[in-house]
Amino acid sequence: MIADHLPVLVVVLPLVGAFVTLLAGWADRRLCFPIAMATTVIQFCISLLILSQVMQTGPLHYNLGNWLPPWGIEYVIDQLNGFVLVVILFLCVLTCLYSHRSTPSEIDEKKIPAFYTVLLLLVTGVCGIAVTGDLFNLYVFLEISSLAAYALVALGREKRSLVSSFTYLVMGSVSACFILLGIGHLYIVTGTLNMADLARVLPPLYGSTVIQTAFIFFIIGLSIKTALFPLHLWLPDAYRYSPSAVTVLLSTVVSKIGVYALIRILFTVFTPAFIIFEIPVMEVFCWMAAAAIIGGSVLAISQTDLKRMLAYSSVSQMGYILLGIGIADSLAVTGGILHILNHAVMKGCLFMIAGSFIYSSGIRSIEDLRGIARTMPLTAAAFVIAAASMIGIPPTVGFMSKWFIALGALESGQWIFVLVILASSLLTAVYFWKVIEYMYFREPGTVCAGTVSTARDPPAGMLVPTLVLAAACILFGIFVSIPLEVIEPFVTGILGGT
């Protein structure tokens, strides 16, 4: 019985959870965390069930309120969103656990219920995006998650949190605007909003200027959402000034769901035939992604603040995912989708570590981290693992996805992108090595000597999720076949075999 309703449960559960959290928060603030935690854990279990069903029986279709598509809203889960759902919920669970210890030190205590409520609303939004098969429904959930994200960023104590939240809001709204315009254009021409239906109706209309404009609007809107260079301007400040747990969520869950939406629209609503052969947009898109890879790395090198550096690194890494998708070769797309998981794991780990440094010592600047590896050995070790993975040293996860993307670029004859990937690996090594050098090989500086020497590895509540992600960096690198098994059927489905 219940098994039939899993797709909708995964969305409804956090929505209900959010209200329960709010009500419970009035009674006792301490109840919020267990409720949010329980909600995300149950959701994670549901997502695993869904994925296993999808792997066994193929895509799940669920008609909301028993309205038949294309009139009613349809939830469709295939291998891609099954995979993305598991990844983002896995990170939601870990972040929720992490936030229990990290958040109270970063926001006002009375805002804790609000924090967990908004967090669950954000989860509602991203899960909704992940499961829906309806374009307008996707937009609605995108707005829910975005609004929740703006609110979460604004929860930070610093004044600039508000400013950066506002910048984020402006850019996010512009993005939503473009997406809505795109949807509107499609609806005007086709009269339908169901993705599968659109895919069926669109091909004869590919020559239409309206459709092409709609496509461009989608690209622009989602480029802002995924912070594709040079539209990343909102990202560094939003990441820098939000509470640590929020940064983790933004960098792993929110950014990844944007990529998911992009893939969905590029490959399911439109088709590879359209985006590759019909209009030359993807070429521009690839160059943007290449510029993001290099530009993000270069900007990351110039940073002195650890979280900002990681934020720019995210810009660069999102470039990898988008490059993989933009090349639209089956290997490259596999690499790009794999990088969704990999980047979520690595960057989640790194932002958790940055949060741990702030929690234990209050240090935000890279230069003040001198010698901290002696007092926070586990955290520093996790950083090294995640950094190695970012650089792409085998057998870590980062290597596998870069490898696939590079192979795909070679296969489609675009060797210049291979050079870009190589160059960026070097640049990545530069800025991560700088941090590792400060942590391990420098004597504590005079200014921060006290804080560094009294710093300790954070409490288990923060350390465990960090270490789990660091271990995942290596485990998924070695057992890369597990995610590949899920991804490959999808890629084969849309691009027809490797």
Partner 1 sequence: MTDVMIPPALILIAGALLVPFLNGQIRRLYVPAISLAALGATLLLAPGMECNIPALHGYTASLLHVDTLSLVVGYIFAFAGLLALIYARDEERAGHQVASLLQIGSGLGIVFAGDFFTLFVFWELLAVSSVLLIWYGGTPGSRDAGLRYILLHIFGGGCLLGAIVISVAATGSFVVGPVQPGLSLLLLLVAIGVNAAFIALHVWLPDSYPRSTVAGAVILCIFTTKAAIYLLARTSPGAEGVAYMGGLMVIYGVVFALLQNDVRKLLSYHIVSQVGYMVAAIGIGTALAVNGGIAHLFNHILYKSLLFMCMGAVIAQTGRSNLSELGGLAKKMPVTLVTCVIAAAAISGIPGFNGFISKGMIISAAAEAHLSVLEIVLIVGSVGTLLSFAKLTYYTFFAKNEGIEAREAPLPMLVAMVIAAACCILYGLYPALLYAILPFPVDYHAFGLSHLAESALVIIAAAAILFLAAKLFMPKDKNVPEFMELYRYCGNGFVWFCTGPLTWLAGALASVQDRIIKGLAWFVTNPVVAGHILVLAAVTPLAGWFCTKDQAAAFTQSLDKKMVAYPGDHELIQGSGYGLFLVSLLLLVYFLVVFINY
Q: Which residues bind partner 1 (CB under 8 A)?
A: 160, 163-164, 166-167, 170-171, 174, 209, 212-213, 216, 219-220, 223-224, 230-231, 233-234, 237, 279-281, 283-284, 288, 298-299, 301-305, 308
Query: Among candidates 250, 249, 228, 387, which has minimal Cα distance to 306?
Result: 387
Q: Least CB distance from residue 229 to partner 1, whole Å?
A: 10
Task: State which residue, 130 or 219, has the beta carbon closest to partner 1.
Answer: 219
Contacts of 380 (CB under 8 A, 6+ apart): 372, 373, 439, 440
Measured CA distances, 323 to 12, 223, 442 (Å):
34, 12, 37
Task: State which residue, 160 or 456, has the beta carbon closest to partner 1.
Answer: 160
Q: Least CB distance from residue 216 to partner 1, whole Å?
A: 5
In this structure, are residues 240 and 113 in contact, taking their beta carbons and an 8 Å threshold?
no
Residues making up the chain, counted from first to last: 498
Look up residue 89 and give its two tokens: 């919920």
Q: Least CB distance from residue 312 to partner 1, whole Å?
A: 10
In this structure, are residues 164 and 252 in contact, taking their beta carbons and an 8 Å threshold?
no
Contacts of 120 (CB under 8 A, 6+ apart): 14, 15, 17, 18, 21, 36, 39, 40
Task: State which residue, 137 or 175, has the beta carbon closest to partner 1.
Answer: 175
Q: How far apart are CA 394 and CA 400, in angstroms?
A: 8
Task: State which residue, 187 or 206, has the beta carbon closest to partner 1.
Answer: 206
Look up residue 211 and give its two tokens: 């459709």
Q: Least CB distance from residue 394 to partner 1, whole Å?
A: 16
Q: How far apart are CA 486 and CA 209, in angstroms?
A: 36
Q: How far apart are CA 124 and CA 384, in angstroms?
A: 33
Q: Least CB distance from residue 178 to partner 1, whole Å?
A: 8
Query: Among candidates 238, 44, 11, which has minimal Cα distance to 122?
Result: 11
Q: How far apart are CA 373 and CA 382, in angstroms?
A: 10
Q: Least CB distance from residue 231 to partner 1, whole Å?
A: 6
Task: State which residue, 52 or 304, has the beta carbon closest to partner 1.
Answer: 304
- Cα 2 vs. chain centroid, distance in angstroms? 29
**In this structure, what is the dihedral angle of CA atoms 63, 67, 71, 75, given to the nearest 10 degrees?**
-10
Task: State which residue, 197 or 237, has the beta carbon closest to partner 1.
Answer: 237
Q: Least CB distance from residue 340 to partner 1, whole Å?
A: 23
Task: State which residue, 100 or 232, has the beta carbon closest to partner 1.
Answer: 232
Q: Least CB distance from residue 233 to partner 1, whole Å?
A: 4
Task: State which residue, 126 or 318, has the beta carbon closest to partner 1.
Answer: 318
Sign of CA dihedral 232, 155, 92, 194: negative
